[in-house]
Structures are given as C-alpha cells and as structure tokens.
Amino acid sequence: MIKVLVLYFLSSFLLVHAGENLVVESNGCMLKAIDSIGFSYMKTDEGVSFIKYKYKDGRSENIKISCKDMTLADAISSDYVQENDGLKVGAGSSPLSKARLFSGSNWSGVEGVYFLGTVCFTASFEAGSNHVFFLDSCGEEADIKEVRTRFLSLLKHAETYYVDSNTK
C-alpha cells in the first residue's frame, strides 16, 4: 500500500513538473518546444500566427510570427548589417544595435535588440534549410528583456522544420 501511494505521488509530481508542449505553425514552418510555460499559440481566421506570451505579472502579449521561403543567409543579408565590429540589426537607432548568432537542436538563427521609438526584440531562425521564421516584439525595456530571455530559452531546446503544404 505504501509503495502504491509513493508511486502515485511521484507520478503526480512528475506530471505537474513535466512542462507544457508548444507547437507553432506558420505557412508550413513548424516549431515544437517543451517546457513552454508562459507561451501558447494562436492563429487568426486570416491565417496570421501569433505566439502569446504571459508575463509574470499576468499581462499577456501576442507576438506575430511568420515564415518565409528563404535561407537564413538571405534573411541575415536583408535584415542585418555586417560591420567591422560585428553583426548589427539593420533597423532602428543609429548607431546600429548589435545582433548575435544563436542555435538550437536542429536550427541556427540571429537575434538582436534595437530601438525604434521603443525597445524592440527581433529574431530570425531556420525552419528547415530553405525557410525562416521571423518575429518582432516592441515595448517597455523590462518587458522586452523578459520576452527575449524567455523566448531564447524556449528556443534553445526546440525543434524546427518545414512541412510542404502538398504533403500535409
């Protein structure tokens, strides 16, 4: 009887702390992440995809995420600038803000924070070899710092890929 109770409590504990899974789809680009507490996914009737982030204080924000048919190198060359002192976000304040490369289990990407009337976080990352996810979020500096930290943490162990709409 004691063994049964111990197993019951142990399994309940593991289920509570197993984390939530997140699956995001945008134009065939797929992202699967575990331990996505604070994040959820929604798609409008018009087909626009959003990742909903719930702040620690209970507020929430919808962050638009999109997918384009291009390589990461093409995305970097169109949205970022390579300067002598490193990669920079190609929009926003002058001087340009620093960007950095980052990667996960099966993808690579680039991210940065810039100022365009307000603080903004941007990220571009692979979904397969010829498709790229894009997202931008702008707001108060503390909010953007929280969103950026949590989103990059979520992505670290996420898998991304592309599913051709003809094979779905």
Q: What is the pLDDT of residues 91-140, one digit of tens each?
A: 877 778 999 999 999 999 999 999 988 999 999 999 999 999 999 999 99
State how far the alpha carbon of 161 is from the alpha carbons of 5, 32, 97, 125, 128, in Å.
42, 9, 29, 10, 5
Return the pLDDT at 5: 39
The SS3 of residue 3 is: helix
Tell me: the pLDDT tens digits for 61-80?
Answer: 999 999 999 999 999 999 99
User: How confident is the model at residue 1, as a pLDDT?
Assistant: 52
19-162: CATH class: alpha beta
Domain boundaries, the chain: 19-162
Output phi, psi for 148, to 5 deg. Answer: -60, -50
Mean pLDDT of the chain: 87
